[in-house]
């Protein structure tokens, strides 16, 4: 089985990435063989299309409601044989895998399309392409086209498998608003050495960039009556934070996990700013406060905390309820905190609650009632024994986010990386306002916090013939209450994208649908049960209308001989 051509074609238009992977395979054997198509794609992406064509006959993937697809599938195949085509492979990626039997001398072309909105983190967007052909490929090519009307501020490529020879196969052409990156290694350049037919191409190919920002009220782009508004203000003062670290030291954290937690906490302590206040709570079946109040992050206090962190050992049960309520209590009684500051609790745990209150629903209720919208809760789940669903619901119900920490060698870096993302809040209570009677289907437009290096994205449909789209942003910064205003000239904005060679026409409409689905699914996690159904129904309608494989839909892939397989979207909560 020979892959004679593999092409990754990616077009990024104003942060929205549309990637098509085409693999052409020939069976050089004199009997039928199994041809496999295996692609790792970002978890944040939605598959939108897949097809196989075998000797000229095309077998398309059809996207259906998940429940209906599963029922059909179960009747077609006896229970228990359902091989899911998509599974999570690591913290950033999931794998799409399909194989089909092809006759001697036959050819098959696989084509997979997926889309995602690139999210700005720590001052840059990252496009990740996983490269793993597992054999030498005669025609191998990666094309990345980027068009950012705001202008490209910087652009870099990075790869885990580059050699000097391979660097020669990489070209980058760039002007003010566009860039084209081409990676096209010859067979010789792909080889590990001249004697062996082994490929060097195995790992990550990453493009990172950021855009230029001039307008204070962000940047508005409009195509075919849909708009997207990006807001990432520059050079804002950082809020002082009051942060309580709530650290699990139960028996299951023993060994590598507690070591990595110690390493990460020591680095995080160094990253505290002098104006921050902080404290630690550690818990197993007992809850221990390092200090009964929040302390300023002076050199002395940080050193004393570091000494405590060094001594962290793991044993005993898991009293999550008691630990979180203690943390809220410390924030409640805190005095002399900076007037305009952000209070947050960061929970790190690797298991289920086994001490004190064990019912996760009651814990969620207790915590939400205690926090009462005043503080932000971030939940980090270490490994796969945690109930991620529980942590995710608890974080989202209290203005924060959850993240799974994978038990890899880089777990300490994952913890530090997460802290860096939330370490610098620059705005709070952000309201993005648009003319109500002229906009339909507005995505989320109120945000609790904005961190330095990230970005707020709002999208909607302009419902009547507006000439000007006025926007108003209200927010609180560390030093003042802000009101920012901007007007976008609809015709001028529409013209920016006309005559652009590599724009897929309705990309802002698809971006709007993608963002809507992501937000509806997230909202459903922490919504009361009766609202959950309505939110999921809206997300399902959009998923079917725009043909996205989301947690609510399935792609049915029919092979020759009427054999069916399903591609489902896995979620972190399983």
Given a cut of 90, is residue 422 above it in pLDDT? Answer: yes
Q: What percent of the chain lies above the pLDDT cut of 90?
A: 80
Question: Residue 392 in contact with residue 525, Cβ under 8 Å?
Answer: yes
* pLDDT category of residue 82 using cuts at 50, 70 and 90: very low
pLDDT tens, position by position, 275-293: 999 999 999 999 999 988 9
Calculate mean pLDDT across residues 200-206. 94
Which residues does residue 163 pair with via DSSP β-bridges, in sequence order? Answer: none
d(CA 411, CA 264) in angstroms, rounded, equals: 8
Look up the pTM and report it: 0.94
At 195 the pLDDT is 82
- 418 phi and psi angles, rounded to 5 deg: -65, -45
DSSP β-bridge partners for residue 39: 96
Query: Distances from the Cα of 518 to the Cαs of 89, 233, 542, 543, 548, in angstroms?
Result: 21, 24, 11, 10, 11
Domains of the chain: 2-212+555-559 (2.60.40), 241-423 (3.40.50.410)
Helices (H), 356-463: 360-371, 388-397, 411-422
pLDDT digits 0-9 by tens, 24-45: 999 999 999 999 999 999 999 9
Q: Mind listing the pLDDT tens digit for each residue in 474-483?
A: 999 999 999 9
Indicate the pLDDT class of residue 81, thresholds 50, 70 and 90. Answer: very low
pLDDT for position 77? 57
Structure tokens at 107: 């050819």
């Amino acid at each position: 089985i020979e892959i004679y051509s593999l092409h990754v074609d990616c077009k990024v238009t104003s942060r929205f990435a549309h990637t098509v992977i085409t693999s052409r395979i020939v069976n050089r054997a004199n009997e039928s063989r199994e041809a496999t198509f295996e692609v790792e794609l970002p978890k944040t992406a939605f598959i939108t299309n897949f097809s196989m064509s075998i000797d000229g006959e095309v077998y398309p993937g059809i996207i259906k409601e998940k429940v209906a697809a599963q029922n059909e599938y179960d009747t077609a195949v006896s229970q228990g044989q359902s091989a899911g085509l998509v599974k999570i492979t690591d913290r950033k990626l999931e794998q799409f895998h399909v194989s089909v039997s092809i006759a001697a001398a036959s050819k098959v072309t696989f084509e997979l399309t997926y889309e995602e909105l690139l999210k700005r983190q720590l001052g840059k967007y990252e496009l990740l392409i996983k490269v793993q052909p597992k054999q030498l490929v005669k025609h191998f090519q990666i094309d990345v086209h980027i068009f950012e009307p705001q202008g490209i501020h910087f652009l870099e490529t990075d790869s885990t498998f580059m050699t000097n020879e391979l660097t020669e196969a990489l070209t980058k052409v760039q002007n003010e608003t566009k860039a084209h990156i081409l990676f096209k290694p010859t067979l010789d350049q792909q080889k590990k050495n001249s004697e062996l037919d082994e490929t060097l191409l195995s790992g990550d190919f990453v493009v990172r960039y950021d855009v230029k920002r001039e307008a204070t009220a962000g940047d508005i782009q409009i195509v075919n009556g849909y708009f997207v508004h990006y807001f990432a203000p520059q050079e804002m003062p950082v809020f002082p934070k009051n942060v309580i670290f709530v650290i699990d030291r139960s028996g299951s954290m023993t060994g590598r996990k507690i070591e990595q937690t110690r390493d990460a906490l020591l680095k995080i302590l160094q990253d505290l700013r002098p104006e921050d206040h902080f404290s630690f709570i550690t818990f197993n079946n007992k809850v221990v406060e390092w200090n009964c109040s929040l302390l300023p992050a002076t050199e002395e206090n940080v050193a004393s905390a570091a000494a405590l962190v060094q001594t962290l050992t793991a044993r005993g049960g898991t009293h999550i309820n008691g630990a979180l309520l203690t943390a809220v209590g410390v924030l409640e009684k805190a005095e002399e905190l900076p007037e305009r500051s952000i209070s947050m609790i960061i929970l790190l745990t690797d298991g289920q609650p086994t001490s004190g209150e064990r019912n996760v629903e009651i814990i969620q209720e207790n915590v939400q009632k205690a926090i009462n919208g005043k503080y932000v809760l971030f939940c980090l789940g270490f490994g796969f024994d945690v109930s991620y669903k529980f942590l995710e619901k608890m974080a989202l119900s209290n203005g924060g986010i959850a993240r799974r920490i994978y038990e890899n060698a880089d777990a300490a870096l994952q913890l530090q990386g997460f802290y860096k993302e939330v370490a610098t809040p620059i705005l709070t209570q952000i309201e993005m306002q648009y003319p109500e009677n002229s906009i339909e289907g507005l995505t989320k437009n109120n945000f609790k916090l904005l961190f330095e290096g990230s970005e707020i994205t709002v999208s909607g449909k302009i419902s009547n013939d507006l000439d000007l789209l006025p926007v108003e942003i209200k927010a609180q910064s560390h030093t003042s209450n802000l009101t920012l205003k901007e007007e976008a000239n609809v015709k001028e904005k529409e013209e920016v994208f006309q005559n652009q060679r590599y724009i897929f026409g309705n990309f802002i409409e698809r971006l709007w649908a993608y963002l809507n689905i992501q937000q509806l699914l997230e909202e459903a996690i922490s919504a009361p049960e009766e609202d959950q159904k309505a939110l999921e129904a809206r997300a399902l309608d959009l998923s079917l209308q725009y043909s996205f494989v989301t947690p609510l839909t399935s792609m049915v892939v029919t092979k020759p001989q009427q054999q069916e397989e399903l591609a489902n979207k896995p979620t972190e909560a399983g």
